[in-house]
Structure 1
Amino acid sequence: MSPSLTNVKAYAAPAAGEPLVPTTIERREVGANDVLIEIKYAGICHSDIHTANGDWGPQPYPLVVGHEIAGVVTEVGPQVTTHKVGDHVGVGCMVNSCGECKNCLAGDEQYCLDGTVFTYGSTDRDGTVTHGGYSTHVVVDADFVLSIPDTIELSQAAPLLCAGITTYSPLAHWNAGPGTKVAVVGLGGLGHMAVKIADAMGAEVTVLSQSLKKKDDGLRLGADHYYATSDPATFTTLANEFDLIINTVSANIDLNALFGLLDVNGTLVGVGAPPEPYSVAGMALASGRRSYAGSMIGGIAQTQEMLDFCGEHGLGADVEIISADQINEAYERVLASDVRYRFVIDTATL
């Protein structure tokens, strides 16, 4: 990396619960297997807000968050063969892993037994703290850099690196497709991508939302049906209906009511991370040989598979592009569910 790029502009959380502020951070020199990316867009994920606020425990402040990164390669190390200058690329929730444990060897780097290195707030292999995508540039090991198809706008591609893979992975793992009935709980940043992807996979898709206020959006995004969970009749009408339910809501909702919507052998998968433990009634599972599962992003190979799938089907996130000085306002709006459906920062405004 040229000396002028060692220090790059960024927006950081200075301490738990404090507004994000402009700053500069140091990026490492480009190593033999590294890629230097000029970040064009960075999505705002609910995880960024939880981390910035310290909701998930102490963080190494000041911290730059952001793990939905889309940009252009501006330099590669001498050993890099997978990417070249000018390529459109993305970086998701992780930037390194041990590469040697059974999970890494199976392509599940997100479950690395030696500790996945996440895009921000982790200690990297060189001992430095990782900083995320609310910045102008990032240096990432080439093995964790994804290729973004030219058919997806970079601004719409950025949220795919978290919201896209977080929903694609369980849909693929539990075989969503023609002949399957899939319900998506919540139509937010994750939920709207779950609907698009499940529809493209060929499943019959139902949205379960608190109210019907986003019904038109849900049907436009690819849902076949849309029901309000605030209406008790929904749980009677849809009893034993679904093969797979993807719960994208990060709040402590009534899982036992959702279990009643599963067919025999059906699975409810949680992809959100509510702060409080759930209460699960054993009989609600046992009565239909139902399963409750969790899922967290996907490995690098599957993330590339997801990007290629979205490229083939013309899928990108529905985004609202903001400038860096609107980040704190955007956080407030995310918490108020006032976004359709993902804020994306134009990093040129840094």
Structure 2
Amino acid sequence: MAGTGLAAAPLFSALSASAQAQQPVSPIGIGPFNVRAYGVSGVKAPFAPIQIQRRAVGPKDVLIDILYCGICHSDVHTVRGDWGSSTFPRVPGHEIVGRVVAVGNAVTKFRVGDIAGVGCMVDSCGECENCLADREQVCLKGTTFTYDAPDKVSGGVTYGGYSERVVVTEHFAIRIPPGMDLAATAPLLCAGVTTFSPMQHWRLQPGQRVGVIGLGGLGHVAVKLAAAHRADVTIFTTSPGKLADAQRLGAREAVLSTDQAAMARLASHFDLLISTVPYSFKMQPFMDLLKLDGTLVNVGLLLNLDGTELSGMSLGFGRKSVAGSMIGGIAETQEVIDYCAARNITADIELIRPEQITQAYERVVNKDVRYRFVIDFASSRQA
């Protein structure tokens, strides 16, 4: 394959014989190639199989056969137009785990056969102040997110992980340590780093009191990570059926946020609150739970905070803070994967087939998942 930019390793050396028989061999390393994906043609359209184009594997690229991809609530928001208009067809997915089947000849981070992950972004300028500080997710020249973002390499827009393969620059691929449960690791590439990052930034210490607001895909991972920091963890939820999971996940207790007596009992109690709620909600009752100098960090609601009804007097007298945080950089994403591998932390998942994505979205909206759907492309490919 002289001149293609690919390493000399056989392209399919890491695949089983049955998988090799299904692989298109001619386009890889020569030019852009088509892969099967699952996408939507409009805001109200169901998911269906489509063909999308992936770019050729360049010198610094890795080609990944996707084995598993999580369904994040932000996927639902994007597909349903909750965050404004975007382009169609749309292929979501930014919690990707798969096997490296080809590497460019300048790649040093991966070899054929390695397991790699791809999170919420696939490119940035690499030169601005934020990128140089390992904060590529807030690149000053514009981060390229894994899907539905302008593709600076190939043109058009990026397509995500609800597909059979992806090509990504090695810098934006994450090393998955041996022995991890691959399906249950996939959500850590978004839910993990999104909740881990504020714990690191606000220096969560053993014995501190932390509350996790919302017990879903992000929230249940936040509880596990906070417990691993040896914090005193409390879960806040609006779902009575989730209260029993508190101890199993690592929390000391779980509280219905509609229980006014319980909320009053916890006034001025917490050092840190992490809100994973993806919709607008009344924040003031939770601000009342913070101690002096406490902080509520919002990682769930990405639109405006209308309706939060925050009291400036309460903020001032308690010297309390409302802050935001969004995912993490590549270095921090690798850090949380390694942190979880060392402590056997994974997400609680329900595996689904690709043809079940539309139904899974409905169940996410109805809070009917414990706690993250993951699309099983590995079994689908074998079938």
Q: Does 1:221 align with 2:249?
A: yes
TM-score (norm 1): 0.97
- C-alpha distance after superposition, 1:277-308 (max 9, x if no partner): 23322112112100000000000000000000
Shift of 1:261: 0.2
Match of 1:144 in 2: 172
Between stretches 3-12 and 223-232, larger displacement belongs to: 3-12
Instruction: Determine if contact 1:211/1:229 at 8 Å carries over to the other structure.
Output: no
In structure 1, the residue corresponding to 2:74 is in which secondary structure?
Answer: helix
In structure 1, the residue corresponding to 2:363 is in which secondary structure?
Answer: helix
Match of 1:181 among 209, 213, 216: 209
The amino acid that maps onto 1:245 is L
Match of 1:72 in 2: 99
The amino acid that maps onto 2:89 is P
Shift of 1:3: 3.2
The amino acid that maps onto 2:376 is D
Instruction: Determine if contact 2:148/2:157 at 8 Å carries over to the other structure.
Output: yes
Sort the Cα spacing of 1:144 and 1:274 in 2 relative to 1 into closer, same or farther, 3 A.
closer
Q: Does 1:191 align with 2:200?
A: no
1:32-181 paired onto structure 2 within 5 Å: 32-126=59-153, 127-181=155-209
Match of 1:3 in 2: 26
In structure 1, the residue corresponding to 2:241 is in which secondary structure?
Answer: coil
Instruction: Determine if contact 1:93/1:162 at 8 Å carries over to the other structure.
Output: yes
> Kindly, what percent of the aligned residue pairs are identical?
52
The amino acid that maps onto 2:233 is V
Bigger CA radius of gyration: 2
Aligned residues: CA RMSD: 1.3
Q: Distance in 1 between matches of 2:303 and 2:172?
A: 29
Q: Distance in 2 between matches of 1:236 and 1:280?
A: 17
- C-alpha distance after superposition, 1:79-101 (max 9, x if no partner): 10011111111000000000011
Match of 2:329 among 299, 302, 305: 299
Shift of 1:254: 1.4
Shift of 1:212: 3.5
Match of 1:246 among 274, 288, 294: 274
Between stretches 44-53 and 314-323, larger displacement belongs to: 44-53
Match of 2:369 among 332, 335, 339: 339
Q: Does 1:313 align with 2:343?
A: yes
Match of 1:260 in 2: 288
Shift of 1:124: 2.1
Aligned residue pairs: how many?
A: 350
Q: Distance in 1 between matches of 2:239 and 2:117?
A: 34
Shift of 1:274: 5.6
Q: Distance in 2 between matches of 1:211 and 1:231?
A: 12
Structure 2 spans left out of the alignment, 5+ residues: 1-5, 7-24
The amino acid that maps onto 1:16 is V
In structure 1, the residue corresponding to 2:218 is in which secondary structure?
Answer: helix
Match of 1:282 in 2: 312
Q: Distance in 2 between matches of 1:203 and 1:22?
A: 44
The amino acid that maps onto 1:292 is V
In structure 2, the residue corresponding to 1:157 is in which secondary structure?
Answer: helix
Instruction: Determine if contact 1:107/1:299 at 8 Å carries over to the other structure.
Output: yes
Q: Distance in 2 between matches of 1:311 and 1:17?
A: 38
Q: Distance in 1 between matches of 2:246 and 2:64?
A: 34
- The structure 1 segments of at least 4 consecutive aligned residues displaced by more than 3 Å after TM superposition are 1-5
Shift of 1:4: 4.6
Instruction: Determine if contact 1:12/1:22 at 8 Å carries over to the other structure.
Output: yes
Q: Distance in 1 between matches of 2:151 and 2:26?
A: 22
Q: Does 1:16 align with 2:46?
A: no
Q: Distance in 1 between matches of 2:195 and 2:67?
A: 24
Shift of 1:275: 4.6
Q: Does 1:325 align with 2:348?
A: no
TM-score (norm 2): 0.89
Q: Distance in 2 between matches of 1:166 and 1:293?
A: 14
- C-alpha distance after superposition, 1:178-204 (max 9, x if no partner): 121100011100000000000011111
In structure 1, the residue corresponding to 2:375 is in which secondary structure?
Answer: strand
Shift of 1:177: 2.5
Instruction: Determine if contact 1:270/1:295 at 8 Å carries over to the other structure.
Output: yes
- C-alpha distance after superposition, 1:128-180 (max 9, x if no partner): 31100000000001000001122321100110011111100111111112121
Q: Distance in 2 between matches of 1:113 and 1:4?
A: 35
Q: Distance in 1 between matches of 2:263 and 2:323?
A: 21
The amino acid that maps onto 2:346 is G
Instruction: Determine if contact 1:263/1:288 at 8 Å carries over to the other structure.
Output: yes
